[in-house]
């Protein structure tokens, strides 16, 4: 069965080129195209989407801002004419970053990378599962498992290939995960506020444009996260 995909781009010629490439390649099923972030959100609500070809410069909300808002996004291949967003895109764990004008061979390589990642993910022994009823997060750590209550978590801090989980009453736990592995598995009250921090919004006591406070703990808000953090916290 072919993986499903969506193209999100407000440039008709760019959309036509990707449609042509998808037709020639024949390994993906295109279920629709979108010209704005809001159209993408509605598309994802109505359909099971495996892969999203996402432009960065779109009306009102950029592709990067959209990715920070989505809780459980599909796999993403960024398509853009702007090289300067590459580092931020990979920080958001995108499959690949295609610079326009996109050549067919580069497009094929990106799709193959998606399928390779998908296969690896299915066989990955590091699995994460969440029980919504009990707010329990199960971390698989080699031959052992660590179960935590997310309601007791204040925030998570990235330490490169490890994460330090900060709990109430000063308790801490360090686990071998990347922050992107857990970001979309956490309950909806958790929000990414910096490339190195995810916070439990229910524990935030004070916030401004540049930092959050959880009791006497200050956590910085990354420049590229300011808009989404403000929108999220003001909506609480």
Q: What's the CATH number where 133 sits?
A: 2.40.50.1020
156 shares its domain with 216: yes
Domain shared by 142 and 223, yes or no: yes
Q: How many domains does the chain have?
A: 2
CA distance to 12, 66, 113, 188, 191, per residue, from 71 (Å) = 28, 10, 23, 7, 9
> Which of 91, 123, 155 marks a domain boundary?
123
User: Domain of 195?
Assistant: 128-234
Encoded tokens for 127: 């699995």
Domain end position, chosen among 107, 123, 139 = 123
Asked if residue 114 and residue 192 are part of one domain, the reply reads: no
Same domain, 156 and 195: yes
Encode the chain (236 residues) as per-residue pLDDT tens digits.
Answer: 789 999 999 999 999 999 999 999 999 999 999 999 999 999 999 999 999 999 998 888 888 888 888 878 899 999 988 776 555 555 677 888 899 999 999 999 999 999 888 876 655 444 555 555 457 888 876 667 778 889 999 999 998 788 999 999 888 888 888 888 888 788 888 999 999 999 999 899 888 878 999 988 999 999 888 887 877 776 55
Burial class (CB in 10 A: 0-12, 13-18, 19+), 83: exposed
- Amino acid 23: pLDDT: 94
Same domain, 133 and 119: no
User: Do 139 and 154 have their domain in common?
Assistant: yes
Where does a domain end: 123, 138, 154?
A: 123
Three-state DSSP state, 77: strand
């Amino acid at each position: 069965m072919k993986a499903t995909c969506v193209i999100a781009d407000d440039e008709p010629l760019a959309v036509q080129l990707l449609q042509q490439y998808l037709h020639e390649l024949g390994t993906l099923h295109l279920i629709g195209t979108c010209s704005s972030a809001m159209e993408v959100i509605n598309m994802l609500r109505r359909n099971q989407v495996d892969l999203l070809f996402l432009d960065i410069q779109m009306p009102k909300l950029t592709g990067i801002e959209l990715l920070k808002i989505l809780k459980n996004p599909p796999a993403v291949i960024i398509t853009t004419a702007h090289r300067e967003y590459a580092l931020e895109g990979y920080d958001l764990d995108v499959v690949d970053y295609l610079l326009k004008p996109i050549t067919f061979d580069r497009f094929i390589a990106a799709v193959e990378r998606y399928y390779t990642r998908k296969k690896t993910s299915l066989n990955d022994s590091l699995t994460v599962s969440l029980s919504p009823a009990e707010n329990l997060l199960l971390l698989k750590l080699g031959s052992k498992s660590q179960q935590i209550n997310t309601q007791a978590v204040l925030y998570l801090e990235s330490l490169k290939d490890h994460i330090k989980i900060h709990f109430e009453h000063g308790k801490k736990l360090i686990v071998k995960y990347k922050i992107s592995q857990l970001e979309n598995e956490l309950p909806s009250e958790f929000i990414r506020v910096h490339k190195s921090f995810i916070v439990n919004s229910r524990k935030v006591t004070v916030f401004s444009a540049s930092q959050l406070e959880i009791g006497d703990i200050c956590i910085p808000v990354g420049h590229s996260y300011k808009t989404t953090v403000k929108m999220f916290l003001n909506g609480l």
